[in-house]
């Protein structure tokens, strides 16, 4: 994905919230992947398939004693 859009997130700061912009495709403040509306419409199925493959790979690695915990 070579998208130049930015995704808006509201992150808690003290008693209020602060708006943060993250480039599409990068890691969001909550540890997931930031995806803009345009890319979700175009590549949504592909992104979900990649995320499922990553989760399955991490599960296989953890079951063998390796991988991300």
**Structure pTM?**
0.74
64 vs 35, residue with greater confidence? 35
pLDDT band at 68 (very low <50, low <70, confident <90, very high): low
Q: Tell me whether residue 69 is in a domain.
A: no
Is residue 27 within 8 Å of residue 37, measured between CB atoms? no
pLDDT in tens, 12-41: 999 999 999 999 999 999 999 999 999 999
The total domain count for the chain is 1
Question: What is the number of alpha carbons within 13 Å of residue 53 lying toward its C-beta?
Answer: 6
pLDDT of 24 reads 95
Could you tell me the residue range of the domain that residue 29 belongs to? 6-63
What is the percent of the chain where pLDDT is above 90? 77
Q: Tell me whether residue 42 is in a domain.
A: yes
Q: Tell me whether residue 25 is in a domain.
A: yes
Residue 5, pLDDT above cutoff 90:
yes
Helix (H, G, I), strand (E, B) or coil at 39: helix
């Amino acid at each position: 994905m070579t998208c130049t859009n930015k995704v808006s997130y509201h992150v808690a700061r003290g008693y209020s919230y602060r708006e943060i912009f993250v480039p599409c495709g990068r890691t969001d403040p909550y540890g997931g992947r930031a995806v803009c509306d345009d890319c979700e419409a175009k590549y949504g199925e592909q992104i979900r398939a990649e995320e499922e493959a990553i989760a399955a790979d991490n599960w296989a690695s953890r079951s063998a004693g390796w991988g991300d915990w």
